[in-house]
Amino acid sequence: MENNNYQEATRGIGKQIKLPLKDAFRISLQNIKIRFWRSFITVGGILLGIAFLMSVFTTSSLNEALLKYGPENIKLSISKVSQNVNERQIWVVVLSLIVCVVGITNAMLMSVTERYKEIGTMKCLGALDRFIVELFLLESSFQGLIGSFLGAFAGMIVPLL
């Protein structure tokens, strides 16, 4: 008898519907637009970290090129300065990237915490955990890509100017 009741209760439960990736992209972009200023701050943190990294790489590449092909007076001054600077630059870049990672992680955790009601509503409507995680990963990926491209561009252009 109990088995019969279980079968009747589960008869109405069908296959769970999986939303297409296209819809996940659309929802993620919509969430970025809705929370533009929070996204802007996250993208700004990524941009500054990557720009600093690229400026260090660009400056060291320029110094190496000047050491090979530059005039003698420039070669001497660069060789004296570059021995100490490389070790310091590596530590500063590593620390700045760690700070960026902590900032980005904090922003994404706050985004999840801030949106717990929205997540609950989506789950009540039948969204799978996988889909919700996919939304947050897509959102953070968009922010990371935009910040990385802009930061790499700014970090290469500014030292060259």
With bands split at pLDDT 50, 70 and 90, how would you rate the model's confidence at 53?
Answer: confident
Q: Give me the chain's average pLDDT, please.
A: 80
With bands split at pLDDT 50, 70 and 90, how would you rate the model's confidence at 52?
Answer: confident
Domain ranges, ordered by start, for the chain: 33-160
Give me the half-sphere count of Cα atoms (radius 13 Å) on the Cβ side of residue 136.
Answer: 18
DSSP of 13-57: --PPP---HHHHHHHHHHHHHHTHHHHHHHHHHHHHHHHHHHHHH
66 and 78 Cβ atoms separated by less than 8 Å: yes
Q: Which of 88-92, 126-130, 153-157 has the highest mean pLDDT?
A: 153-157
Reply yes or no on whether the pLDDT at 6 is more than 80: no
In terms of Cα–Cα distance, which of 95, 113, 107, 102 is closest to 140?
107
With bands split at pLDDT 50, 70 and 90, how would you rate the model's confidence at 33?
Answer: very high
* pTM: predicted TM-score of the whole model, two decimal places: 0.74
